[in-house]
Amino acid sequence: MDITTSLLSMQAEASLAVILVVMLLADLIIREPGHRKLQILGCILMAVQLALNVVPAEGEAFGGMYRSTELASVVKTVLAAGTLLVFMQAGEWLGREDTRGKAGEFYLLTLSTLLGMFLMVSAGSFMLFYIGLELASIPMACLVAFDKYRHHSAEAGAKFILSSMFSSALMLYGLSLLYGTCGTMYFADMPALLAGTPLQVMAMVFFFAGLGFKVSLVPFHMWTPDVYQGAPTAVAGYLSVISKGAAAFAMAAVLLKVFGGMVHDWSLLLSVVTVLTITVGNVFAVLQTDLKRFMAYSSISQAGYIVLGALAGSGQGMASLVYYVIIYVAANLAVFGIIGTVEQHTGGKTGRSAYAGLYQTNPRLAFGMTLALFSLAGIPPFAGFFSKFFVFAAAFHAGHWLVVFLALVNTIISLYYYLLVVKAMYITPSDSPVPPFRADGLTRAGLLVCVAGVVVTGLVSGLYGLLSGAALH
Amino acid sequence: MNILSLFVLIPLLMLLGLWMSRSLNQVRGVMVAGSGLLLVLAVWLAVAYSGLRSAGADEEMLFTASVTWFAPLHICYSVGVDGISVVMLLLSAVIVFTGTFASWKLKPLTKEYFLWFTLLSTGVFGFFISTDLFTMFMFYEVALIPMYLLIGVWGSGRKEYSAMKLTLMLMGGSAFLLIGILGIYYGAGGETMNILEIVKERIPTEVQRIFFPAVFLGFGVLGALFPFHTWSPDGHASAPTAVSMLHAGVLMKLGGYGCFRVAMYLMPTGAAIWGDFFLVLTTVSVVYGAFSAVVQTDLKYINAYSSVSHCGLVLFALLMMTRVSATGAILQMLSHGLMTALFFALIGMIYGRTHTRDIRQLSGLMKIMPFLSVGYVIAGLANLGLPGLSGFVAEMTVFVGSFERADLFHRACTVIATTSIVITAVYILRVVGRILYGTCRNPEHLKLTDATWDERFAVICLVVAVAGLGLSPWWASSVISASVEPIISQLSQL
C-alpha cells in the first residue's frame, strides 16, 4: 500500500489537519478584530468536515499502526460534531475585550486536541495511542489557562498540566512493562501474548490508571472540579464531553481488544471504580452551589455510567457506550452552553442562586436547561433515559447486576441535585433575577441543536441499531 | 393505524396545541376538546371491546399491534388491551376530563400547568395500553416526573419539600423496577420484551426469587405500600386540586396494575415465595392508613391516608390470588379512583373558598354551599362502602374473594383488613358531621358562594360515575373477571 492510499484511509484525520492549517493561515491573514469571521470560518469548515465523514468508514494504514473501525469512525464524527457545537457557543466569550485578540488561538488549540483524540481513538498501536493522547493533552492545558488574567484560569491550567503529565507518566510506565513482556506495541499482536502474568496485570493497572485520569474516574478525579471551575466555560464544556468521551471510548476499546483475554483481571477492578466514580461524583455534586463545579462532579458521575458500557466487555457494551456518549455530548453541551451565555450576560455569575427566577425572565433558556438536565438524570422521553437503559442492559447482560443496581440507586441522588437547579429556575423567587437577554445567533443555534438532540435522539431508533451493527463488525 | 395509539397521539397533539396557544381561551379549548375526545374514545373502546368479546374473540389481548423500536434489545412499541386496561383507560379519561374542569380557573402560568398536566396524562394512557416492558416503563416514568413541577410550582403548603420527597421516592421505586425488568428480560432468555410472549417462557426460580420483590416493590411504592407510602400524604396535601385527583385517582393505580400485570403475571413462582411477606405489609397499609386518617385534622391529609388504606386494599386483594379477590382489586382501583378524585375535587373547591382545610375551623357548610356539601356526603358514603355506590361493590368483592382462602394466615389477614371498614366509617362520619352540619361559627364563611358551573360539571360527572358503578357493576365486573382469569390461572398453576 503506498502512502497516498494510506493517507486517504485516514480521511477524517487528514481533513482535520487541513482545517487546522487553513485556520492558522486565516488567523494570520484576517485583520483585527477577526474573531467573528474566524468563528464563522471555523464552523463552516467543521460542518464540511462532518459532511465528508458522516458515512462510517473502516481503514488501516502504516502497517496496522493506524486502524479505524466503523465504530471508531462514528465516534470521531460525534467528537467533530461536539466540537462544532462548542465553536458555535464560544462566540460570545471570545468576543469579549480581553479574549478578542487571541480568538484564532482558541480554534487552533481546540483543533489540535481534536486531532490528537482522533488518533487516539483509531490507534492500532500503543505508540500512536500515546502520541494522540499527548497531542490531546498539552494544548488542552493552554485552553484551560486561556483566560489567564481572570479567575482561577491560570491556576487551573497549571493543575491540569501537572496531573496530565503525571497520568501520562503512569501510563508510559505501564506501556513499557507491556512492551517488555510482549515485545510488541501493536494491538493486533498483543492478545496472543498476554497470559495474565503478574507483570502484565501490573502493566494493565498502570495503563488503566493513566487513562482513568483523562476520563476522571475516582480516585483519579481530584483535578476535575478545580479545572472545570477555573477554565473558561466553553473549554470546560469541551473538556467534559469531547475529551472525556474520546478517552472513555479509547479505554473501552483497548480493554476489549487488547486486554480482552484478561477480563477476569480487570472486571472487578472496573466494577469497583465504576461504582465509586458514580457515587463520589454524585455525593459531592449535591453539595455544590457553583454550577460549573457542580457540573464537574456531575460529569464525574456521568463518566461512571459511560464506563458501565466498557464493563460489559461486549459489542453490546461498546454500542451502548458510544450511544451514551452521543446523548451525553448533546445534553452536557446544552447545559454548559447555557451556563456560558448566562455568565457572559450577567458579568460572570455562575452560582446556582443566580438562576433563581430564570423561568420568569428567560423562559426558553430555562426550558432548554430543564430538558437537558432531565436528560442527564435519565428521565424519559428524553434521550438520557434510553442511553442509561442501554448501558444498564449491557452491564446486566454481562452479569454485573449488583453494579447496575448500585448505579440505579445513584440515579436517585443525581435526580435530586438536577432537580435543585430546576427548582431554582422555576420555584425559588428572586429579587434580582437574570435580566431578559438574547444570546447571539450562533449560540442560540448551537443550543437549539443540543436541545433538539436531547429530545429527538432517544426516540429515533435507527441510531442504536446502527451502532450495534457497527460494534458487531 | 392502531386505535389504541390514539390514546398517546391525542395527548401529544394536545401538547402541541397548548404550545401554540396564545390566550387562556385557546388553552381551555384545547384541553376540553382533547380530554373530551379521549373520553369519547375510551367509551367507544369499552363498547367495541365488549362487542368483540361477546362476538367470541378469545385472545388474551385485543387491538394488539407491535412496531419494532430498538431491534438489538427486542424493544417494541406494542399495544393491546384486556378488560383490566379498558376500565383503567376509562377511569383515566374520566379523571383527566373532570380534572380539566376542576382546574378551570387555575393561575398563574395556566398554559405551563396544562402542558405538564397533559404530559402526565400521556404517560398514564401510554402505560395502560403498553404490553412491552420497556415501553411500559418509559410511560410510567413519563407520568412521574411532571409531578415535581406541578406540585412544586402550583402547590400549596410545604410544596417544595413534598414535591422533592414524592419525586425521589417514586423514582427510587422505579430504580428497583428497572433492575427487575432487566431481570425478567434476561431471565426469560433475552429474546422478547413483550409481556404476552415472556409469559410463555419459564423464568428460572432463582431469578424470580431475586427480581419479584424488586418489581413488586417498585410498583408498590406508587401503590402506597407500607412502609413506602410516606410520600403520598405530603404529596397529595401539597398538590393542586386536579393533580391530587389525577394522582390519587389514576397514578396510584399504575402501582396496582403493574404489580398484577408485570410482577405477579410474569413471575408466579416469585409471587408464591414472597406473597405472604407482602401480604403482611399490605394488611398493615390497610389498617394503618385508616387509623392515621382518624387523627388527621387537614381534609387533604385525611383523604390521603384514606387513599393509603384503600390502595393497600388493592394490593391486599391481588395478593390473595383468587379470581374473585383479584376482580375485587380491579374494581377497587376503579371505585377508589373515581371517589377519591371526587373527594379531592370537592376539597379543592372548599379550600378555594374558605382558604383553610383544617376541620377545626370549618363548620355548618351544608347551609352555605349545599351543592358541594351534598357532593362531599356522597363521596364519603361511597368511601365507607354504602350499598348503591361504587365502594360497596368493590370492597364486598374483595372481602368475599379473600375469604375463599381458608388457611389460618390468610383468614387472619382478611379479618384484620376487614376492620378497616369500621375505621373508615369513623373518620368519614366524624368529618362530615363536623364540617357540614351544625351551625357555622365563622361569620366570614357565611358570605361564601356555592359551586360555579365548571365545578358543578366536574362534580356531577364524577358522582354519576360513582353511582353508576355502584348501581350496575355487572358490565365492569364481568369484563374484569374474564380478563383476570389468565393471570390467576398462571398464579395457581404452581
Give per-residue pLDDT as tens, B67-124: 888 888 888 888 888 889 999 999 999 999 988 888 887 777 888 889 889 999 999 9
Q: State whether ipTM is beyond 0.85.
A: yes
Stretch among B107-111, B271-275, B323-327 having the lowest mean pLDDT: B107-111
For the stretch A54-93, pLDDT in tens is 887 788 888 888 888 888 888 999 999 999 999 999 888 8
DSSP 8-class letter at A63: G
State how far the alpha carbon of B200 is from the alpha carbons of B68, B197, B267, B339, B481, in Å: 20, 5, 11, 37, 21
Interface of A with B in 304-343 (CB under 8 A): 316, 319
Q: Do A381 and B138 touch (CB under 8 A)?
A: yes
- Of B310, B325, B313, B309, the C-alpha closest to B402 is B325
For the stretch B423-455, pLDDT in tens is 998 888 888 888 888 787 777 777 777 777 888
Q: What does the CA dihedral A177, A183, A186, A190 come to, rounded to 10 degrees?
A: -80
Q: What is residue A473's predicted lDDT score, i.e. its pLDDT? A: 67
pLDDT grade, residue A466 (50/70/90)? confident
- Identify the burial level of B65 via C-beta atoms within 10 angstroms of its C-beta, where 0-12 means exposed, 13-18 middle and 19 or more buried: middle
How far apart, in whole angstroms, are the C-alpha atoms of residue A209 and residue A269?
A: 11
Q: Which domain holds residue B354?
A: 3-492
- Of B153, B154, B125, B151, the C-alpha closest to B140 is B125
pLDDT grade, residue A336 (50/70/90)? very high
How far apart, in whole angstroms, are the C-alpha atoms of residue B225 and residue B172?
A: 14
Percentage of chain B beyond pLDDT 70 is 100
Say which of A316, A386, A392 has its CB closest to residue B182. A392
Whether residue B154 contacts residue B163, with contact meaning beta carbons closer than 8 Å, is answered with no
Angle at the Cα of A237 (from A233 to A241), degrees rounded to 5?
Answer: 170
Q: Roughly what angle, to the nearest 10 degrees, separates helices A70-94 and A244-257?
A: 160
How far apart, in whole angstroms, are the C-alpha atoms of residue B362 and residue B354?
A: 8
**pLDDT score of A1 more than 60:** no
B189 touches chain A (CB under 8 A): no
**pLDDT score of A151 more than 80:** no
- Identify the burial level of B64 via C-beta atoms within 10 angstroms of its C-beta, where 0-12 means exposed, 13-18 middle and 19 or more buried: middle
The sign one gets for the Cα dihedral B10, B12, B16, B17 is: positive
How far apart, in whole angstroms, are the C-alpha atoms of residue A185 and residue A51?
A: 33
State the CB neighbour count (10 A cutoff) for residue A5. Answer: 11
> What residue in A sits closest to B144 (Cα-Cα)?
A379
State the CB neighbour count (10 A cutoff) for residue B453. Answer: 9
Whether residue B244 contacts residue B232, with contact meaning beta carbons closer than 8 Å, is answered with no
How far apart, in whole angstroms, are the C-alpha atoms of residue B355 and residue B370?
A: 18
For the stretch A98-150, pLDDT in tens is 888 888 889 999 999 999 999 999 998 999 999 999 999 999 999 998 887 77
Q: What is residue A87's predicted lDDT score, i.e. its pLDDT? A: 92
- Of B79, B13, B11, the C-alpha closest to B39 is B11
Looking at the structure of chain B, the number of domains it has is 1
How far apart, in whole angstroms, are the C-alpha atoms of residue A457 and residue A387?
A: 10
Q: What is the mean pLDDT of residues A279-292?
A: 91
A367 touches chain B (CB under 8 A): no
B153 touches chain A (CB under 8 A): yes
- Helix, strand, or coil here: B115? helix
- B194 to chain A nearest CA, in Å? 16
Q: What is the mean pLDDT of residues A340-348?
A: 86
Q: What is residue A188's predicted lDDT score, i.e. its pLDDT? A: 87
Burial state string for B336-349 with b = 16 or more CB within 10 A and e = fewer than 16: bbbbbbbbbbbbbb
Q: Roughly what angle, to the nearest 10 degrees, separates helices A153-182 and A223-230?
A: 140
Angle at the Cα of B361 (from B359 to B366), degrees rounded to 5?
Answer: 75
- Helix, strand, or coil here: B76? strand
A407 touches chain B (CB under 8 A): no
Q: Do A465 and B71 touch (CB under 8 A)?
A: yes
Side chain identity at residue B63, one-letter code: F
Say which of A390, A404, A412 has its CB closest to residue B171. A412
> What residue in B sits closest to A467 (Cα-Cα)?
B72
> Which residues of chain A make contact with B119, given a CB cutoff of 8 A?
none
> What residue in A sits closest to B189 (Cα-Cα)?
A397
pLDDT grade, residue B239 (50/70/90)? confident
Whether residue A218 contacts residue A276, with contact meaning beta carbons closer than 8 Å, is answered with yes
- Select the residue from B8, B69, B73 to test the A interface by mutation, using most A Cβ atoms within 10 A: B73
Whether residue A222 contacts residue A190, with contact meaning beta carbons closer than 8 Å, is answered with no
Q: What is residue B188's predicted lDDT score, i.e. its pLDDT? A: 86
- Of B83, B84, B86, B94, the C-alpha closest to B38 is B94
Q: How many residues does chain B have?
A: 494
Q: What is the mean pLDDT of residues B9-31?
A: 87
A404 touches chain B (CB under 8 A): yes
Ramachandran assignment for B452, one of left (phi > 0), alpha (psi -120 to 50 degrees), beta (any other): beta
B9 touches chain A (CB under 8 A): no
Q: Which domain holds residue A413?
A: 3-472
- Select the residue from A425, A461, A473 to test the B interface by mutation, using most B Cβ atoms within 10 A: A461
**pLDDT score of B464 more than 80:** yes
Q: What is the mean pLDDT of residues A440-445?
A: 88
How far apart, in whole angstroms, are the C-alpha atoms of residue B85 and residue B103?
A: 26
Pairing between β-strand B75-81 and β-strand B62-70 as defined by DSSP bridges: antiparallel
In which residue are the cell numbers 366536574 written? B458
State the CB neighbour count (10 A cutoff) for residue A33. Answer: 12
Chains A–B, number of C-beta pairs less than 8 Å apart: 81
How far apart, in whole angstroms, are the C-alpha atoms of residue B114 and residue B110?
A: 6
Percentage of chain A beyond pLDDT 70 is 99
> Which residues of chain A make contact with B176, given a CB cutoff of 8 A?
408
Q: What is the mean pLDDT of residues B360-371?
A: 82
Angle at the Cα of A163 (from A162 to A166), degrees rounded to 5?
Answer: 90
Q: What is residue B1's predicted lDDT score, i.e. its pLDDT? A: 66
How far apart, in whole angstroms, are the C-alpha atoms of residue A252 and residue A319?
A: 11
Whether residue B245 contacts residue B95, with contact meaning beta carbons closer than 8 Å, is answered with yes
A382 touches chain B (CB under 8 A): no
Which triple of cell numbers denotes residue B312? 393497600
Interface of A with B in 412-431 (CB under 8 A): 412, 415-416, 419, 422-423, 426-427
How far apart, in whole angstroms, are the C-alpha atoms of residue B207 and residue B217?
A: 16
Say which of A411, A423, A468 has its CB closest to residue B160. A423
Say which of B68, B72, B167 has its CB closest to residue A316. B72
How far apart, in whole angstroms, are the C-alpha atoms of residue B286 and residue B308?
A: 7
- A321 to chain B nearest CA, in Å? 14
Residue B372's H or E segment, with its range, is: helix B370-383
State the CB neighbour count (10 A cutoff) for residue B433. Answer: 11
**pLDDT score of B62 more than 70:** yes
Pick the most confident of A31-45, A143-157, B28-42: B28-42
Q: Do A427 and B167 touch (CB under 8 A)?
A: no
Q: What is the mean pLDDT of residues B383-401?
A: 86
- Of A79, A86, A130, the C-alpha closest to A107 is A86
Strand partners, A66: A61, A123
State the CB neighbour count (10 A cutoff) for residue A257. Answer: 16
Angle at the Cα of A131 (from A125 to A132), degrees rounded to 5?
Answer: 90
For the stretch A266-285, pLDDT in tens is 888 899 999 999 999 999 99
State how far the alpha carbon of A248 is from the alpha carbons of A240, A253, A401, A472, in Å: 11, 8, 21, 19
Looking at the structure of chain A, the number of domains it has is 1
How far apart, in whole angstroms, are the C-alpha atoms of residue B418 and residue B205?
A: 33
pLDDT grade, residue A11 (50/70/90)? confident
B175 touches chain A (CB under 8 A): yes
- Of A298, A387, A295, the C-alpha closest to A338 is A295
In which residue are the cell numbers 468576543 written? A95
